[in-house]
A and B are shown apart, each in its own frame.
Chain A
């Protein structure tokens, strides 16, 4: 699947001059119409959920850490302590309009069933993850000969919660394999800016520090 064919125009993310929200969060929020019901899997301290609620989106969250849950509850957010790997199976089909997996895919034990569950629970899913095909990553392994570390992924190989890294290319392949339709794809560079669309897809895989994907259930049937 050629990536740029799937990529729709960004529609211009309003730049956040206040610096209150991360660009990838703003990008995700732009993808969701007001009034939608959204589940944020691995919602951390609820930053994205707060942004969504401020835009009239009915948000819920799942978060593994107790500290994260406490902070979310303090903000008045509805967040349940739980594990994406084990808890998603308990959610009924079509419970949400959108299910978000923001910077969490690489920390799941079983990314494939998790992805399948996202699109069972929600009509659409938005998945963002750090791209292991990013040039800095490649360079560190190629030249430095050690497992890559970046500003956003500072953990060393032995104490990282991230166990399933993938590249944008790998993720596209996985989506294809489980018949997930890619409605929109955006690569963000090191500064969180969208990589220009007119570039070939391998540029994304090379220069995208992270990928953000809007997915829906495939039409092929299984």
Chain B
């Protein structure tokens, strides 16, 4: 009885999600049969579409564009209200006037990755050959595929080079892939809380999540659209497991400890007696409202396959040989999903390939998710790195207002935040 109550049914209907997958609320670029996306699995995907958002304005010489790469379960709605959840953008804390990714200075682009479910072609999109959702007929995609699609989007938007590519977690993997695949198009790169390859432990957690989805009777081998169901219980369990890996023991303890939820004594049942349990159940059920289960399978798989050194005979430094891109690598002390040691390995490889690299490990007990939270040290370093990159690119004189103006604007912004 209690187990059935554990995850509430989604209040947003699958039809809403399905509609968003084909007809996104955000701008979308469509590629026809003449412009297929060449996937690593050998398939040419055509036609396909990429949904995206932009913030700020592109300057005259197109030198102030910054690409944000989103993490696994996020999307293009960085700094605007989410069309399905009605909640604020996932990185509003970072993106906006006076924020580190200052929309008064930079032109910010974020696309929904290929394989996603918020308007870029993915397993939830309609397969033009059948008129039904792709489901498991959708080809397996990789991080390089996502980046290739983003490059095609930028071509279409008329942006040759990016001032910076920034992203955390899966987004950080895309950042690294960008620098390895298109070094000449990336002036600077800010990979956060990520690594050049997905570890065995991380693959193991993803497998747990996928198995949870596939064990749900509502999954129907991925054909749940036709049955008007959604494996929301399996997906919620996957999200709960994932969410634990995004936090840290210290953060969970600080937030919840062993405190009880709305009661003083245990119920001697499998109800959510502990606050941490009801928190996880909430996380799970709110996630299934906005995310597609098959998309979760495809995107976790893409992360699992990621190994940048593998394409270079296992020598990571070779991936970045002779690169001109300026790097700023950031990790967080309590991140056990992508621990600092992984970032250090990347930094050593970048140093070995003579890349211009900065690296900072930021002290926080908030775990992997720290890159999405209010961590002033991270904001400061991102702001400083972007400003120096802008300066090196000659942006200062053109797009930047005077020091005084900037200062007062930042002051205003921080006042607003308080």
Contacts and interface: CB of A to CB of B under 8 A. Distances in A.
Are the chains A and B members of one assembly? Answer: yes
Interface of A: 37, 60, 66, 69-70, 72-82, 90-92, 95
B266 to A, nearest CB: 43
Which applies to chain A's interface (DSSP): helix, strand, loop or mixed? mixed
A76 B381 CA distance: 11
A73 B354 contact: no
B388 interface: yes
Q: Most chain-A CB neighbours within 10 Å: which of B352, B358, B384, B387?
A: B358
Interface stretch (B110-118, B168-176, B255-263, B360-368): B360-368
A121 to B, nearest CB: 10
28 contacts: A60-B351, A66-B361, A66-B362, A66-B363, A66-B377, A69-B381, A70-B377, A73-B381, A73-B384, A73-B385, A73-B388, A74-B384, A74-B387, A76-B388, A78-B326, A78-B327, A78-B357, A78-B358, A80-B359, A81-B359, A81-B361, A82-B344, A82-B359, A90-B344, A90-B348, A90-B351, A91-B351, A92-B352
Contact of B357 (A37, A70, A75, A80): A80
B328 interface: yes
B115 to A, nearest CB: 33
B392 interface: yes
B388 A95 contact: no
Contact of B356 (A70, A72, A78): A78
B360 A75 contact: no
B354 to A, nearest CB: 7
Contact of B358 (A79, A91, A92): A79
Contacts of A69: 358-360, 381
B351 A95 contact: yes
B336 to A, nearest CB: 19
A92 B349 CA distance: 10
B347 interface: yes
A81 B328 CA distance: 11
Contacts of B356: 60, 78
B380 interface: yes
Contact of A91 (B326, B352, B384, B392): B352
Given A66-B361, A70-B377, A72-B358, A80 B351 contact: yes
Interface of B: 326-328, 344, 347-348, 351-352, 354, 356-363, 377, 380-381, 384-385, 387-389, 391-392
A73 B358 contact: yes
Given A60-B351, A73-B328, A91-B352, A66 B360 contact: yes
A47 to B, nearest CB: 16
Contacts of B326: 78
A90 B361 CA distance: 18
A7 to B, nearest CB: 33
Contacts of A82: 344, 359
B309 to A, nearest CB: 15
Nearest to A121: B351
Given A60-B351, A78-B356, 16 more contacts: A60-B356, A66-B360, A66-B361, A66-B362, A69-B358, A69-B359, A69-B381, A70-B381, A73-B385, A76-B391, A81-B359, A81-B360, A82-B359, A90-B348, A91-B348, A92-B352
B385 A95 contact: no
B380 A70 contact: yes
**Which 9 A-B pairs rank lowest in CB-CB distance, beginning with the nearest?**
A76-B388, A74-B384, A80-B359, A90-B348, A78-B356, A69-B360, A92-B352, A73-B358, A73-B384
A79 B113 CA distance: 32
Contact of B384 (A70, A80, A92): A70
A82 B377 CA distance: 17
Contact of B388 (A37, A74, A90, A92): A74
Q: Most chain-B CB neighbours within 10 Å: which of A66, A79, A80, A82?
A: A80
Contacts of A76: 387-389, 391-392
A34 B359 CA distance: 25
Nearest to A70: B381
Contacts of A81: 359-361
A70 B330 CA distance: 11
A78 B354 CA distance: 11
A76 B359 CA distance: 12
A35 to B, nearest CB: 14
Nearest to A39: B351
A37 B351 CA distance: 12
A77 B388 CA distance: 8
B347 A80 contact: yes
B358 A77 contact: yes
A80 B354 contact: no
Q: Most chain-B CB neighbours within 10 Å: which of A72, A78, A92?
A: A78
A222 to B, nearest CB: 24
Contacts of B348: 90-91
B19 to A, nearest CB: 44
A11 B62 CA distance: 47
A75 B388 contact: yes
A72 B328 CA distance: 11
B181 to A, nearest CB: 22
B278 to A, nearest CB: 36
Nearest to A76: B388
Given A66-B377, A69-B358, A73-B381, A95 B363 contact: no
